[in-house]
A = this chain, B = another copy of it.
Amino acid sequence: MDSNPGAAADDGRTVAEVGEFGVIDLVRAAIGDNPHILLGSGDDAAHISTKDGTYLVSTDLLVENRHFRRDWSSPYDIGRKAAACNLSDINAMGGVATALTIGLGAPADLPVSWAVEMTRGFESECGHVGAHIVGGDVTASDVIILAVTAMGDAVRPVLRSGALPGDVVAYAGRLGLAAAGFAALSRGFRSPKAAVEAHRVPHPPYAAGPQAAGAGATAMTDISDGLIADLGHIADASGVAVDLDSSAFEISEPIQAVSSALGADALTFMLNGGDDYALVATFSSQATLPDGWTRIGVASEGSGVTVDGAIYDGPAGHEHWR
């Protein structure tokens, strides 16, 4: 390695000061090249060559009271959500997940039935794409930890870096519903049901990823941190600007209801809310968008993501250690 990221990190800063993406950048700089890595970290999944083929792989780490709460969600729903966010990473590459591993950290007093129900929810969600758990690990920990790795196949992996000026920007799936549900739960509400349920268990548009790949999507990612934040990764990786048209977003009734009840802006839920695991992709302007995809903007020369031509002034996307 030519670089010396250790020196750059030796200034004593903490992970909270550097932030999630800063840590990822510094860690990535400490990793060398590998002939097996057709496509490494920095996309939703890595694309790996084997002695006889290729596969996609992605990993997520979920920690109790940060990514889920036992008093808000059943173990079955927590298992479904843990599977969904990992299946979504493979979906976001235009692939189909086939195999997942799960590492379970469990407090000594956790009822075994919790682990079994979580596993059943996990397997149930995997069933939406025909994937299964193929291995795991169980260890003791103070809070529940779910460490998930998903592997899958893709005919043509769709990266974040392929968007071109002039491309159409479109999304598939739900936007803002989980964030509205989280906002409602945080304020002690237990409704609207559709939003609260969406926070507990996302419904990623699993068919939409491979469909977009088949329709020639030039770039794609899933939305876990918020549309603007995640679309920003496509804009950065592709070297384009993206402008969204706020009038293209149809605000659903549950989001409207939460907005009214909490005095929050409905569009902000859709633009900055995470955890619905919708997909956002770019397509050539000549391409026909597959069913379920909604056009919401265009890519152009430049950088950054704007809404109606201006920086969107809502709360920032999700960041850990805040």
Q: Which of chain A's residues 136-170 have a Cβ closer than 8 Å to chain B?
A: 136-143, 145, 147, 149, 151, 153, 155
Give complex CA distance A128, B110 in Å. Answer: 38
Known: A109-B14, A112-B15. A103 touches B50 (CB 8 A): no
Report if A6 contacts B (CB, 8 A): yes
A268 at the binding interface (Cβ < 8 Å): no
When the two chains form their complex, are residues B36 and A138 in contact, meaning their CB atoms are under 8 A apart? no
Assess whether A262 is interfacial by the CB under 8 Å rule: no
Contact (Cβ within 8 A) B116 A27: yes
Instruction: Given the known inter-chain contacts A10-B113, A50-B98, A115-B26, please indicate yes or no for A20 contacting B138, CB distance below 8 A.
Output: yes
Q: In whole Å, how far is A321's beta carbon from the nearest beta carbon of chain B? A: 4
Contacting A67 at CB < 8 Å: which of B57, B139, B155?
B139
**At the interface with chain B, which of A39-47, A181-189, A295-303?**
A39-47
Q: A12 at interface (Cβ–Cβ under 8 A)? A: yes
Q: Quick one: CB contact mask for A44-64 with B, threshold 8 Å, 1 for yes?
A: 011010111111011111110
Whether A132 and B6, one on each chain, are in contact in the complex, defined by CB atoms closer than 8 angstroms, is no
Chain B hits for A103, CB < 8 A:
59-61, 147
Distance A141 CA – B142 CA, assembled complex (angstroms): 11
Which residue of B14, B50, B147 is within 8 Å of A112 (Cβ)?
A: B14
Q: Chain B residue with minimal CB distance to A116? A: B9
Q: For the complex, what is the distance from the CA of A51 to the CA of B151, rounded to whole Å? A: 12
User: Inside 8 A of A113's CB, which chain B residues have their CB?
Assistant: 6, 9-10, 12
Q: A64: nearest residue on chain B (CB-CB)?
A: B141
Instruction: Choose from B37, B52, B138 the contact partner of A134 (Cβ within 8 Å).
Output: B37
* Inter-chain contact B51/A50, CB cutoff 8 Å: no
Given contacts A119-B27, A145-B105, A321-B108, contact A46 B134 (CB under 8 A): yes
Contacts A23-B112, A113-B6 given; indicate if A59 touches B132 (C-beta within 8 A): no
Q: What residues on B are CB-neighbors of A48 within 8 Å? A: 55, 98-99, 134, 151
Smallest CB–CB gap between A53 and chain B, Å? 3
Question: A99–B31 Cα gap in the complex (Å)?
Answer: 12
In the complex, whether A5 has a CB less than 8 A from a CB of chain B is yes
Q: A45 CA to B41 CA in the complex, in Å?
A: 23
Give 26 CB contacts A-B under 8 Å.
A5-B116, A6-B117, A9-B115, A13-B111, A15-B107, A15-B108, A15-B110, A15-B111, A15-B138, A23-B106, A27-B115, A32-B127, A34-B132, A36-B134, A37-B134, A40-B135, A41-B136, A46-B99, A46-B134, A53-B53, A55-B151, A60-B103, A61-B104, A61-B141, A61-B147, A145-B147
Chain A residues engaging chain B, CB cutoff 8 angstroms? 5-6, 9-10, 12-18, 20, 22-24, 26-27, 29-34, 36-37, 40-41, 45-46, 48, 50-55, 57-63, 66-67, 98-99, 101-113, 115-117, 119-120, 123, 127, 131-143, 145, 147, 149, 151, 153, 155, 320-321
The 7 closest A-B pairs by CB, nearest first: A53-B53, A147-B147, A52-B53, A61-B103, A34-B132, A16-B108, A59-B101
